């Protein structure tokens, strides 16, 4: 069972996440990577103050 974990800064809507998850699942199924019922897409939203970049410090 493949898990696709996406870590991102919070702020995306549920609709945006659902659309992206569907596209990922569709692609994985189309390429025979896995059956769609076995695929899990997990979003991990992080607050902006929990993310740092070398360009920002």
Q: Model pTM?
A: 0.84
Confidence of residue 7 (pLDDT cuts 50, 70, 90): very high
Reported as a pLDDT band with limits 50, 70 and 90, residue 57 is: confident
pLDDT at 35 over 90: yes
Statement: residue 36 has pLDDT above 90: yes
Closest C-alpha among 13, 12, 2 to residue 38: 2
Question: What are the domain boundaries of the chain?
Answer: 3-49
Query: 45: Cβ–Cβ under 8 A, 6 or more apart, which residues?
Result: 8, 9, 10, 11, 12
Question: For 3-49, CATH number?
Answer: 3.30.429.10
- Looking at per-residue confidence, does 7 or 53 come out higher? 7
Given the structure tokens 């696709």, which residue do they identify? 4
Q: Which residues pair with 46 in a beta bridge?
A: 9
Catalytic residue positions? Answer: 2
């Amino acid at each position: 069972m493949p898990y696709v974990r996406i870590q991102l800064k919070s702020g995306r809507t549920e609709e945006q996440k659902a659309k992206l998850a569907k596209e990922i699942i569709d692609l994985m199924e189309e390429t025979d990577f896995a059956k769609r019922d076995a695929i899990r897409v997990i979003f991990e939203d992080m607050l902006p103050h929990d993310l740092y970049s070398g360009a920002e410090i």
